[in-house]
Amino acid sequence: MPAGLPERLPILIAPSPLLKARARAVAAGDEATVRDLLPRMFATMYDAPGIGLAAPQVGTGLRVAVVDLMPDNVQTPLTLINPEIVALSEEMATREEGCLSLPNMYAEVTRPARAKVRFLDETGARREIEADGLLAACLQHELDHLDGVLFVDHLSSLKRNMILRRLAKETRQKQDAPARRFA
């Protein structure tokens, strides 16, 4: 890896138990950990590629998430430390979701169409964002991760089990594939 680029982090794949654990709030003694974690999380998310990543997905049980929808292919990173949803619309919206921890698995998920989230940014400043559309869904998806909830948990048990079985099968096939040898 070229010098100066943050190290990528391994993304946990379901059914890792760490993905189902509730993350703890970032506290006063966590500044150095978060300062080191943020650039690595962004690098991992961009490399994947994805539009959101929560700390539990990279094995860190802190309430930290990063988001970037990359409007017009321009990076617009959003750092969320100790985020909390303060309001959700009654109006619902359904859109296809995927997850870096469930690679190549997608399903239609219904969530509130708008969300208002309060959080600390990377400088420690208190912020609030009101979102709709893809950003609202992404924020709710990432905050779910902080509570140990995956997008498949919003589906019927039949759909959830189908996706998790398909993921397990693909994971087994990758592990069973013979290593390529180069002479």
Alpha carbon distance 130, 135 (integer Å): 9
CB of 117 closer than 8 Å to CB of 131: yes
Catalytic residue status for 142: yes
Neighbour count for residue 87 (Cβ, 10 Å) = 12
The tokens describing 28, both together, are 């006063």
Q: Which of 91, 97, 130, 142 is catalytic?
A: 142
CB 113 within 8 A of CB 92: yes
DSSP, res 57: G
Residues tagged active-site: 142
